[in-house]
């Protein structure tokens, strides 16, 4: 069960060039924003008016004219993979504008309170951190208007880290993984106050991500897109090549 021809846009935002994904059901216009971490004005003006810089990558219309036959978009929810400031720092601006609930796994609520202090280390002034309106529970499927996302809890980069799976009827599924998995790499496990743990991260990936269809498109929080099958075969930290003992078969970060 899923949607057809998902309209997905990526905006690389902020100093860490974090991937904010905007997902729309092109039949209904229902839209969710995954990881609204920065540049809220850019995202809002594009969603509402197709004005401004627009997305860095899209499966949908690239101009207002191309979008003429599509329904008007309405944002129905804000969802997050985790609470690091680059992913969540400007949720307050998006929430104030759209007036919709923000979903986060509760194990990241404490981390979320530290967003301003973390941002300051990068010279950023962030608004008072948002408090989540709704608690993501694993393993559960949420309906956001006509869009459905399944929540996979994947702790290891942070305690409350989640991967969000979008089922697609006429093509590969898509999974928004935050900083759990990258093309050829995995999320850091040494960030202060986050509950990082490499063994837990590897276990999360093995149990929650590797069982997905191998053509599932992986949308990481940073860097290029990849697929579940490609990472399962080749990822040097958690893929088959890593062997049972972790990276390269002789211990983590060996």
Tell me whether residue 7 or residue 182 sits nearer to Zn ion (CB atom).
Answer: 182
Nearer to Zn ion, 86 or 173 (CB): 86
Q: Which among 104, 199, 204, 241 is positioned nearest to 160, based on CA atoms?
A: 104
Q: Nearest distance from residue 68's CB to Zn ion, in Å?
A: 35
| In contact, 102 and 133? CB cutoff 8 Å | yes
In the complex, what is the shortest distance from the CB of residue 84 to Zn ion, in angstroms, rounded to a whole number? 3
Q: Kindly tell me which residue out of 9, 25, 179, 231 binds Zn ion, with binding defined by CB under 5 A.
A: 179
Of residues 44-73, those binding Zn ion (CB under 5 A): none
Instruction: For residues 37 and 35, give the distance between their C-alpha atoms in angstroms, rounded to a whole number.
Output: 5
Residue 135 Cβ vs Zn ion, minimum distance, rounded to whole Å: 19
Question: 10 Å Cβ neighbour count for 250?
Answer: 10
Closer CB to Zn ion, 24 or 112, in the complex: 112
Q: Which of 9, 35, 39, 86 binds Zn ion (CB under 5 A)?
A: 86
Nearer to Zn ion, 26 or 84 (CB): 84
6-45: contacts with Zn ion (CB under 5 A): none
Q: Quote the crossing angle between the two packed helices 40-49 and 91-98, to the nearest 10°.
A: 30
Question: What residues form DSSP beta bridges with 8?
Answer: 23
- Site size with Zn ion, rule: CB under 5 A: 4
Beta bridge partners of 153: 162
3-state secondary structure 11-37: EEECCCCEEEEEEECCCCCEEEEECCC
Q: For residues 76 and 186, which CB has a smaller minimum distance to Zn ion in the complex? A: 186
Instruction: Tell whether residue 221 is a contact of Zn ion (CB under 5 A).
Output: yes
Which residues contact Zn ion by CB under 5 A?
Answer: 84, 86, 179, 221
């Amino acid at each position: 069960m899923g949607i057809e021809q998902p309209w997905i846009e990526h905006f690389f935002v902020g100093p860490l060039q974090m991937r904010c994904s905007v997902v729309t059901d092109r039949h209904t216009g229902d839209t969710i924003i995954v990881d609204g971490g920065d540049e809220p004005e850019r995202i809002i003006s594009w969603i509402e008016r197709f004005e401004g810089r627009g997305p860095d990558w899209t499966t949908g219309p690239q101009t207002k004219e191309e979008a003429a036959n599509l329904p008007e978009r309405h944002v129905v929810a804000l969802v997050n993979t985790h609470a690091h400031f680059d992913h969540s720092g400007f949720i307050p601006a998006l929430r104030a504008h759209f007036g919709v609930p923000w979903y986060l796994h509760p194990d990241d609520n404490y981390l979320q309170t530290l967003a301003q202090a973390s941002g300051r280390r990068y010279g950023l002034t962030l608004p008072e951190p948002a408090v989540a309106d709704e608690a993501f529970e694993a393993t559960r499927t949420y309906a956001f208007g006509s869009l459905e996302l399944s929540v996979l809890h994947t702790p290891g980069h942070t305690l409350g880290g989640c991967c969000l799976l979008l089922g697609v009827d006429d093509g590969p599924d898509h999974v928004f993984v935050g900083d759990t998995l990258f093309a050829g790499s995995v999320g850091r496990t040494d960030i202060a106050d986050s509950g990082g743990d490499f063994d837990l991260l590897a276990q999360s990936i093995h149990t929650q991500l590797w069982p997905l269809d191998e053509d599932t498109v992986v949308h990481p929080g940073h860097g290029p897109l990849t697929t579940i099958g490609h990472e399962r075969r080749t990822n040097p930290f958690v893929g088959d090549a890593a062997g049972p003992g972790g990276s390269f078969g002789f211990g983590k970060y060996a």
